[in-house]
Structure 1
C-alpha cells in the first residue's frame, strides 16, 4: 500500500543568502502492506508528523520516493495529488477539523458533494456511516454540540465516506479521555478487520501504538534499530 524509499527532508529557515538548513528526516525507508495497521511513534520533534505530511503530499521530500498503491506520488503535481487524496486517502486528525457551521451529517456528506455524488446516494452513504459510528441520533448536531468522542466519530465517518483504501491518522485520540480513546481505537480495529482498510497512525501514546500490527519508531529524524519492531 505504501512504500517509502530513502526519504530525506529538510526545511530552509531565514532570508535568501542567510538560510539555515534544518534537517528533519534522514534516509527513511519502510513499507506498509495492504490491510495493516502500522503505528509510527516518536517524541515530539522526532519528524513523525513531517513524514505523515510527506506521505499525504502536503509537502515534498528533499530526496527520495514515495509510492502509494504502486503510484509514485512524489512525481504528482499539486492538483493531481489533491485528486488522488480525494479518491484514495482518508484523514483522521487530533483536532477533528470539522466545519463548525455544518452539522454532523453535512460534515460527513461534504466529500461526496466534492466528488459529484447525487443526493440520493449521498443520503444512503451518510446514513449508513452514521449508524456504523453510533451517531444516528446526533446527525443534526453541530460540532459545538458534540463531545470530543462524538466529534472524532464524525471525523472517522467523514474519512470513510469515499471508501478509501488508506487512512492516515495523526494523533487520533490526542484530544480524548482514556475511556473515549478506547472506544475510538475499537472503531479503528473493527474497520480494519471488517473492511480491510489500511491505517497509518502517528502517535506518541503507547496504548494507541499497541493496536498496530507493527510499530515504526523514529528518533531524531531516523528510523531506530532498523525502524520496525513487532
Structure 2
C-alpha cells in the first residue's frame, strides 16, 4: 500500500474543519458609556447657539444631563457614544437606556421630553443643541410627583444604518418640551449593543490552509 503524502493527509483533515468554520460568527454584547455627556444652554431662548453673538448671550455648556425649559431659558442634554467598533458588523439589538431624576418644585404639570438622534463626532459642540432632525418615539411624558424614572429606546435599525455608513459616533439630544419644565437631570445613560462580527472570509481561511499545506509538502520534499 502506497502511503499518502503528508499534504494530502493534512488537507483531508482540514477541509471538513474548514466547512464547519464557514458561516461561524462571533456574537458580542457590549455596554457603552458616553464619551460626551453635557448640557447646552440657550440663554435667551433665541434658538441661536453661539459664543460672542449678541443674540446668543448666555449660551454655554452646563452640568452634564441638565434639562430645563422656561419662558427665558432652555437647557438640553447631549450624549454621544463611540460606535466605531461595530463597523462591518450585523447589529442584532441596540438599546439606549437612561434615568430622569426630577425636581418637583416646578409644580405638578406633566413633564415631556423629545429624544433626537444624530451622527456625532466625539466632541462637544454648541451646534449639537440643534441636532433635532430625527426623533425617537414615543415622546417621554413624566407625571409628577416623581423622583426618578428609567427609560429605554430600541435603536437597532438606526445603529445599523449609522455603522453601514461608517459613522463613528452616535449622539442624542434630550429636549424638554413646553415652557414650564423645571430642572430635571438625565443620568445613568448607556448604550447596550449585541452584534455579530463575521469571521474571516472562507477564501482567506482556505489561503492560510493552502499555504500551510504547501509549506509542509516542501519541507517533506527537502527532508527526502
Q: Shorter-chain TM-score: what band?
A: under 0.3
Q: Which protein shows a greater Rg? A: 2
TM-score by length of 2: 0.24
Q: Indicate the structure with greater helix content.
A: 1
Q: Indicate the structure with greater strand content.
A: 2
TM-score by length of 1: 0.24
